């Protein structure tokens, strides 16, 4: 069964910079379908602030043939052992909107126990360079909405130059996430996400864009001194 993993880890600055040019996860890694190596950012932070580009904090988002391949990588590969020192969650695919190169959408789709189950959302976009100022104008208010929403347990953005941007968020319940998407929330200016999506439909910001929704099945490690971000996780049964 295909599995996705989302990793957060702090690395030495030279390794972080090198990774922006050469992805440290080899494409021929056993069981790897695709991976994205990115630098973490704080959602909603000012464009020119230090929080907008957290050079030593890296994100790896990857798709694997199965969980055993991921575990072998984390246990036996040099960079994998470094990832294992950080935090990561393992995810089963639920659904997607849009398309992005590299990742393969699984035929098997997981299901949540109910709309009150935790859910993880990942977006990835390949930006049109000339559209970046307009994207920031519409996107930063959405980032703040997600960052400050009472339904999020962990949220951040990430970037890989020259034009890949991504967001990651863990939600207490699927219902709270979908309510936010459709503008049904008690947050100030609740339609920020809905309005940004309408602007994207009017004139696209991206060459490629996808939103992926996942069922979290496990998490490991700590991030910023915290652990167990995701409540009520049930262990996956291996066959």
CA distance readout (Å), 89 to 1, 11, 33, 184: 16, 18, 17, 28
Delimit the domains of the chain by residue range: 3-219
Each residue's pLDDT tens digit, 88-134: 999 999 999 999 999 999 988 999 999 999 999 999 999 998 888 88
The mean of the pLDDT values for the chain is 90
- Classify 87 as helix, strand or coil: strand
Cite the beta strand spans of the chain per DSSP E.
3-10, 32-41, 54-64, 87-99, 119-127, 152-160, 164-171, 206-220
Q: Write down the pLDDT at residue 234.
A: 55
Give the predicted TM-score (pTM) of the model. Answer: 0.91
Q: How confident is the model at residue 51 (pLDDT cuts 50, 70, 90)?
A: low
Checking if the pLDDT of 47 tops 80, the result is no
Share of the chain above pLDDT 90, in %: 63
Which CATH number describes the domain made up of 3-219? Answer: 3.30.70.100
Checking if the pLDDT of 237 tops 80, the result is no
């Amino acid at each position: 069964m295909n599995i996705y993993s989302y990793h957060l880890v702090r690395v030495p600055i030279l390794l972080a910079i090198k990774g922006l040019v050469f992805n440290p996860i080899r494409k021929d890694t056993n069981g790897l379908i695709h991976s994205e190596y990115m630098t973490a950012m704080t959602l909603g932070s000012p464009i020119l602030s230090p929080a907008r580009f957290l050079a030593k904090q890296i994100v790896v988002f990857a798709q694997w043939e199965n969980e055993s391949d991921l575990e072998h990588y984390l246990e036996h590969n040099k960079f994998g052992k470094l990832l294992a020192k950080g935090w990561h969650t393992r995810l089963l695919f639920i659904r997607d909107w849009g398309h992005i190169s590299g990742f393969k959408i699984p035929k098997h789709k997981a299901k949540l126990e109910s709309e009150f189950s935790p859910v993880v959302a990942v977006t990835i976009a390949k930006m049109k360079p000339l559209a970046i100022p307009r994207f920031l104008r519409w996107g930063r208010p959405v980032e703040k909405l997600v960052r400050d929403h009472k339904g999020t347990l962990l949220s951040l953005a990430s970037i890989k130059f020259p034009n890949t941007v991504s967001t990651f968020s863990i939600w207490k319940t699927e219902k709270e996430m979908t309510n936010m998407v459709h503008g049904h929330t008690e947050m100030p200016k609740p339609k920020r996400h809905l309005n940004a999506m309408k602007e994207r439909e009017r004139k696209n910001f991206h060459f490629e864009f996808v939103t992926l929704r996942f069922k979290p099945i496990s998490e490991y490690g700590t991030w910023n001194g915290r652990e167990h971000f995701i409540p009520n996780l049930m262990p996956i049964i291996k066959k």
